[in-house]
Amino acid sequence: MTPRQLRLNLFIYPGGHHEAAWRYRGSAPERLLDIHYYQEIARRAEAEKFDGIFLADGPALADNVRYASRFRLEPFTSLATLAAVTERIGLIATASTTYFEPYNLARLFASLDHLSNGRAGWNIVTTGAPQAAANFGLDAHPVHAERYDRAREFVEVVTKLWDSWEDEALIADPESGLFADTDRVHPIDHRGRHFTVRGPLNIPRTPQGRPVYVQAGSSEDGRSFAAAHAEAVFTAHQTLASGQEFYADLKRRAAALGRDPEQLLILPGISPFIGSTEAEARALHDEFNELTQPEYSLQMLQRILGLRLTTDQLDGPVPRELIETGGERGNGSRFQVILDIIDREQPTVRQLLHRLAGARGHRVVVGTPEQVADQIQGWFENGAADGFNIMPPWLTGGFDVFAEQVLPILRQRGLFREEYTGRTLREHYGLPRPEGRFASASDAAPDLVPTAAG
């Protein structure tokens, strides 16, 4: 049996994941709109045999672009350009079930999967930013539970559309003159609470059957959704115990739904600050934190926790008693991550802002290459992770040092591949290609996404 190995994605965030990355002397903020910059990073990640590249996205300008690089290029266009200069690495795009329509999204991902020869993944989000509503003619952002109810039906519709062409439907036989077997192209005739979609999709079934379903969200609704639909989960945890609880819970929920828990990958985020000594790594981390701007950080804290604080309060304790834990804000997974930091560490406001500056609530690891590798191995071997989203503090240098100094250690320990063995993202992740819903009953595997009548 092949030993279990890490799944590693490169999470590309403009300039890097530390909020002050664009100010660091090793960054290149003038290249954030240069596609050659992203192509260079993608080629490097593929040379290092990463499973995938991941792009976050949102349908509104993020908070306070005055102080940080908060815009992002649209992911489908970006990943299509990266597909043209790579051959193996997966291409994972974030897209919202709240602000897309299923038919349009199904076309976009099907196109990306075809153009990349089977490397597309969909990071399914419901969008937490309330300011997005005004960009789509809505008076208010839908509440948490309503967004997840729509998301469940959205995934059902998109799955039906991707399966509306059978694998054998495209004939393209010049001699017979038959281009497509229309008996194998099916309308979906979906009628539900949120969507009415006739179908079929106007693109044949893709190389992977369907793009890989990825999900990011750790609330109760998020966990239930992931257990039913996701094949990989991007998550944020600060402690091994928290990671272990989440890992065990998601695997248990998936098994209870009749799914193979090995086909649900748990991939926490990790942002490494690496130095030749621990002191050097800490000095690097401190240098980044000294570049942060409190006006930006305090606004971010207000958005997530509802705390309105001033710079005069930076060196005082976080006023825990003022944080309302109920209501819509309290449903957010990132809210709970930050609340746990406050309760566990009792930081000052400044210390909390520095904790969050590195990766917005994801785990920041500061140490030597060996110490970073030990952290990754420890979570991987102790039931907290199947792999990680690597979140370099700055680009490209933060990724370069990880690739040059940490990956060789992981390979020496037999934890990460030397070469690709597959060509699609599903193959990299060890996931099967799903049967279409119109496959013959004798050949069909259980459908990944349970479908409702109609």
User: Would residue 346 count as lying in a domain?
Assistant: yes
Q: Examine the domain organization and report whether 244 and 374 are in the same domain.
A: yes
How many independent structural domains does the chain possess? 2
Name the token pair of 376: 């990754």
Q: Examine the domain organization and report whether 256 and 337 are in the same domain.
A: no
Binding-site members for FMN are 57, 94, 144, 148, 218-219
Separation CA 239–CA 341 (nearest Å): 10
pTM: predicted TM-score of the whole model, two decimal places: 0.91
Q: Which pLDDT value is given to residue 440?
A: 62
* 299 burial level (CB within 10 Å; 0-12, 13-18, 19+): middle
Beta bridge partners of 274: 367
User: Would residue 393 count as lying in a domain?
Assistant: yes
Q: Examine the domain organization and report whether 62 and 103 are in the same domain.
A: yes
User: Would residue 340 count as lying in a domain?
Assistant: yes
User: Would residue 167 count as lying in a domain?
Assistant: no
- pLDDT by residue for the chain (454 residues), tens only, comes to 678 999 999 999 988 999 999 999 989 999 999 999 999 999 999 999 999 999 999 999 876 788 887 788 999 999 999 999 999 999 999 999 999 999 999 999 999 999 999 999 999 999 988 889 999 999 999 998 999 999 999 999 999 999 999 999 999 999 999 999 999 999 999 999 999 999 999 999 999 999 999 998 788 999 999 999 999 999 999 999 999 999 999 999 999 999 999 999 999 999 999 999 999 999 999 999 999 988 888 888 887 888 888 888 988 999 888 888 877 666 666 788 888 888 888 989 888 888 888 777 789 999 999 999 999 999 999 999 999 999 999 999 999 999 999 999 999 999 999 999 999 999 999 999 999 998 863 344 444 444 333 3
Torsion of CA 446, 451, 453, 454, to 10 degrees: -120
Q: Which pLDDT value is given to residue 298?
A: 86
User: Which run of H or E residues covers position 148?
Assistant: helix 144-162
Name the token pair of 230: 């996701």
Binding-site members are 57, 94, 144, 148, 218-219
By the 8 A CB rule, do 368 and 271 touch?
A: no
User: Would residue 196 count as lying in a domain?
Assistant: no
Q: Examine the domain organization and report whether 228 and 308 are in the same domain.
A: no
Residue 45 structural domain: 7-161+201-275+368-429
Residue linked to tokens 């969008």: 127
Q: Examine the domain organization and report whether 283 and 258 are in the same domain.
A: no
By the 8 A CB rule, do 93 and 212 touch?
A: no
User: Which run of H or E residues covers position 377?
Assistant: helix 369-381
CATH number for the domain that contains residue 154: 3.20.20.30
- Determine the length of the chain: 454
Q: Which pLDDT value is given to residue 68?
A: 80
Q: Examine the domain organization and report whether 351 and 420 are in the same domain.
A: no
Separation CA 416–CA 65 (nearest Å): 37
User: Would residue 452 count as lying in a domain?
Assistant: no
